Structure 1
Amino acid sequence: MKTTAHENTPVRLKGMGKGLCVTLNPLEPIEYLKEEMSRLFKDLRHLTPNAGIVIDIGKQDGYDDVIQELSEFLKENFGIASVSRMSGKRSESETLMLSGRMRSGQKIKAKKHLILLGDLNPGAEVFAGGDILIIGSCRGIVAAGQPDNKDAIVLALDFRPTQIQIGTLMAAGVPSSPNQKQPEIAYVDNGVIVVENYVEANLFGRLTSLEIR
């Protein structure tokens, strides 16, 4: 599946500092937007109580009535503490960290890095502008370094994705090493996605000094 399909979805969820950001198209029918929000938030209820949500409608002006109605909807149905509208320059250091299991049909996008403390089940999809770290089983679709960052990596404790993409490179059913009990890392080397035992590869141990990713 190409990431462009994900980009065209009417409602998207991503990390923003210590809160969550909901990107949506205000031209869509309000009831449809509520349905899409419910689909995204229903399995993240443990994150939403007292959480702060920012609604991003892009560069479009107006639509205060839409944001107000969606704000009330989120507060009433998911216990959101505060809902505000995106304003000013967006941060490029946004990282999304989630805990739990992602089920088939769920799609999550992070502005930069994405960390999942749990399993990515078959049929679930994660997209990130930077690295993807799955502290659990990876058996769904992962797309790191979107749209064109080939320096991104994908790390999982149990690496069995149905499809993996790093930057513009894509591979389906990438085989993992025989020892499934070891964490594995996928990265791009000479234009090819390579999967190796994380400890043995020791990619970052080779660095002579600390670097910001």
Structure 2
Amino acid sequence: MLTDVYQIDTARVEHYVADHLWMNLTKQFLKYDWFKKGDLIQFDGKVSEYTTSKKTDVKIERPSKVSVTRLGKNIPLTDRLINLRPLEIEQEITLQIQPFTKARDALLAFFSLNKFQILKKKWHNIQPYAIVDNQLFTRDSFREFYFTRESMIELHNLYITEKISIKKSVYNGDPIQENLLTEKDIESYLSKYKEQHTQHKKSKSQGYNN
């Protein structure tokens, strides 16, 4: 992911485009080994639209003429990553993003979609909230605020060293006391749901056998 994205026009004037941009890791980028935070990356590319279930957005394809500047100096090309086999590159990527995935999984586990899809059968307006140092977040606003790897890793490190507090609450509707769902409420319903689901599977299996 690239952050602080600008377009440079023919007059060499910079125009702000986006706070971040996801790019495929093509050979044009691999030639420079792994980027570091603060690197200035410049390239030509084709802008195209794509559509998700929520919105239409833009992406940049076919990067070319890539140049990378670090601390004011151009970075030379290297063959280290280019000569790796695909599986070896995957392993390198896993190592590179390990601190981020660890932080992401720990911080976002609370917002588990599968669990809340089940809970919505009983509480139709259920919504998990995280309070990070008195700032209230939904799942979506949390991901938007901590969208970079660095911010997610930093938050996780502050949390595990108890330098920041993260409180988690679940409400059926607006985050007010009367809508608060306790852990006991949730676990009790999930236990009953699991019991009923298991019984339904058994009944269905017996029906097939008969």
Structure with the bigger percentage of helix: 2
TM-score, L = length of structure 1: 0.23
Query: Greater Rg, structure 1 or structure 2?
Result: 2
TM-score, L = length of structure 2: 0.23
